[in-house]
Amino acid sequence: MNFKKWIIAFRLRTLPLSLSSIGMGGVLALYSKAFDWSVFLMTMLTTIFLQILSNLANDLGDFENGADLSGRVGPERAVQMGMVSPKEMKIAVVLFSLFSLISGIYLLIFSIGVIDVKFFFFLFTGLLCIYAAVKYTFGKSPYGYIGLGDISVFIFFGIVGVCGSFYLHTFSFEPLILLPAIACGAFATNVLNLNNMRDIVSDKVAGKYTIPVRLGLENAKIYHYFLTSLGIFASILYAFLVFSEPLQFLCFIPLFGMLLIAIKVKNKSGVELDPFLKYTALTSLAIVLFWFLGYFLS
């Protein structure tokens, strides 16, 4: 097996973004004195499988629907480059769907321990995550091609990722955690928006009607500024409502990074936007790491 081609197909640079919401759920559990390492590690593993599944399905889906054949300016994809055949990619999608399912079931066993209503609720949520990961651009009528990818990312990388992982640690829900969940969802959606702004020309040719294709590049940038503002505002509001120790406010530092990215994006287009996907994903993870740092130093 040629592992190099699969490493390219996995698109590991996307992992920091997917792990941000799980990390946020974990740090919120720390503040609630209910953190569980087994739950945290199994949640991380399940999320990694889901992210890789999404990347593989996206690689195949965009190839089959023509989005990778219309002058894309982003990084080349494994199927597009001929490194992986469509048949091999379909097998990989099935395998990582199974990996995600099995890992998710083990996560529920570690966390909930008994088969009850909560178990089946989270099992159903996990199946929705798998479905959302696959159907973004793959298969008939993929929802990413009608502009619904942003809603999906906001929900699964924000609300579900943060609140769901927090609940598996604590078996409780606190309304205020919706604020960091909204922040994670907004920053994750920003990454997708940057990706879609970069690909706006080829997506339009391929009939992929993302938010930037529908709004136009300049309005999509305004949408980007809105998401950035929403994420920063939700983070600051939560901090002032909950934090009591000065060092806990260290989490504000990476927020300046998000603001700087939004400023830098103003005059960029096409392939010039590509580096900002990585910067935004890493800054999202940095925010979570600074929350951890603030907890341990306070």
**Which tens digit of pLDDT belongs to each residue from 81-102?**
888 898 999 999 999 999 999 9
Supply the angle between the helices 274-297 and 15-31 in degrees, to the nearest 10: 20
How far is Cα 43 from Cα 269, in angstroms, rounded to an integer?
Answer: 36
How far is Cα 129 from Cα 144, in angstroms, rounded to an integer?
Answer: 15
The reported pTM is 0.93
Q: Which position has the token pair 């992986």?
A: 84
Q: Give the pLDDT of residue 14.
A: 85
Question: Which of these, 292, 297, 298, lies nearest to 25 by C-alpha position?
Answer: 292
Q: Rg of the chain over CA atoms, in angstroms?
A: 19
Q: Residue-wise pLDDT tens for the chain (298 aa)?
A: 577 888 888 888 888 888 999 999 999 999 999 999 999 999 999 999 999 999 999 989 888 876 665 555 666 678 888 888 989 999 999 999 999 999 999 999 989 988 889 999 999 999 999 999 999 988 888 999 999 999 999 999 999 999 999 999 999 999 999 999 999 999 999 999 999 999 999 899 888 999 999 999 999 999 999 999 999 999 999 999 999 899 999 999 999 999 999 999 999 998 999 999 999 999 999 999 999 999 988 8
Q: Give the pLDDT of residue 138.
A: 86
Residue 162: C-alpha distances to residues 15, 23, 104, 204, 230 (Å): 16, 8, 16, 33, 16
What is the tens place of the pLDDT at every residue in 277-296? 999 999 999 999 999 999 98
Length of the chain: 298
Kindly report the backbone phi and psi dihedral angles of residue 68, in degrees, each rounded to the nearest multiple of 5, phi listed first.
Answer: -95, 5
Residue 200, CB half-sphere, CA atoms under 13 Å: how many?
Answer: 21
End-to-end CA distance of the chain: 48
CA dihedral 228, 234, 237, 243 (to 10 degrees): -110
